[in-house]
């Protein structure tokens, strides 16, 4: 489970209804990874 700052999590929770419960955890991981990864990113 990710431990995110309250401010960030409250913003992300606005998008939670758009995803199923199983997918939501993956969405959080991908968004945090996109923020933390420097440079260009490619999804394969």
**Three-class SS string for 6-22?**
HHHHHHHCCCHHHCCHH
pLDDT digits (tens, 9 = 90+) for 1-43: 667 788 888 999 999 999 998 899 899 888 888 888 877 766 6
Residue 4 burial (10 A CB sphere; 0-12, 13-18, 19+)? middle
pLDDT of residue 32: 86
pLDDT of residue 37: 81
Q: What is the pTM of this model?
A: 0.68
């Amino acid at each position: 489970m990710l431990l995110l700052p309250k401010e960030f999590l409250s913003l992300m929770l606005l998008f939670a209804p758009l995803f199923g419960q199983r997918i939501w955890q993956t969405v959080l991981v991908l968004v945090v990874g996109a923020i933390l990864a420097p440079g260009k990113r490619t999804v394969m």
